[in-house]
């Protein structure tokens, strides 16, 4: 069965309303073996009555989070979180490929790499404050010019590997630099994502 995306959830909710049925949509933030165990999280949106009435059952499957009456929001949130996960995995694989020609196994790289993203996610709140504030010039940010990934791209090429994963981020950075925002903060790349070139 195809996953229900944001608009699909809204369409199903509209159909259910016409049929006189209360509709609750969900996004599962867990692998199948995680269901019912610590770490499993399930996102819900749609009928508040159904969510509250079925809460004890829903909590058996995983920690429940309710996002309101918009039936499309849970699945949209799910896909947004997965987008971050897949880009992170691609970055890990790129790093593993970079060091492999030097004789480093992926396992060795993983042992060094795992703590690094965990440390970096602590900056998410600060990035969010900048984006939500809409001012990419506030103090304490790394500039887009300083964030250029030229050295990583050159080292990747020197190692004989594809630069696709890193080049994607470089394109987001350079669209903002080329638009005259090079001295503004890295968080500004969200504008490249919001307005595809």
What are the tens digits of pLDDT across the range 8-53? 788 888 999 999 999 999 999 999 999 999 999 999 999 999 999 9
Under 8 Å between Cβ of 11 and 77: no
- Reduce the DSSP state of residue 8 to 3 states and report it: helix
- β pairing state of 41-46 and 63-66: parallel
Q: How many CB atoms lie within 10 A of CB 167?
A: 15
Under 8 Å between Cβ of 106 and 165: no
pLDDT class for 91, splitting at 50, 70, 90?
very high
Q: How many CB atoms lie within 10 A of CB 117?
A: 11
Location of structure tokens 């630069």: 163
- β pairing state of 41-46 and 24-29: antiparallel
Tokens of 45: 């949106």
Q: What is the pTM of this model?
A: 0.86
Residue 2 has what pLDDT? 47
């Amino acid at each position: 069965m195809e996953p229900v995306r944001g608009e699909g959830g809204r369409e199903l909710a509209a159909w259910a309303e016409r049929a006189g049925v209360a509709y609750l949509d969900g996004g599962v933030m867990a692998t199948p073996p995680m269901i019912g165990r610590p770490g499993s999280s399930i996102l819900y949106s749609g009928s508040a009555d159904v969510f509250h009435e079925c809460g004890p059952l829903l909590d058996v499957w995983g920690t429940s989070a309710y996002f309101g009456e918009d039936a499309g929001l849970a699945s949209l949130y799910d896909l947004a979180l997965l987008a971050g996960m897949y880009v992170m995995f691609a970055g890990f694989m790129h790093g593993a490929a970079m060091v492999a020609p030097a004789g480093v196994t992926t396992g060795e790289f993983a042992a060094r790499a795992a703590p690094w993203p965990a440390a970096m996610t602590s900056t998410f709140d600060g990035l969010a404050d900048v984006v939500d504030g809409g001012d990419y010039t506030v103090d304490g940010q790394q500039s887009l010019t300083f964030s250029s990934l030229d050295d990583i791209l050159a080292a990747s090429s020197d190692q004989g590997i594809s630069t696709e994963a890193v080049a994607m981020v470089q394109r987001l950075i350079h669209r903002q630099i080329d638009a005259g925002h090079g001295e503004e903060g890295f968080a500004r790349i969200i504008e490249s994502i919001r307005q595809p070139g």
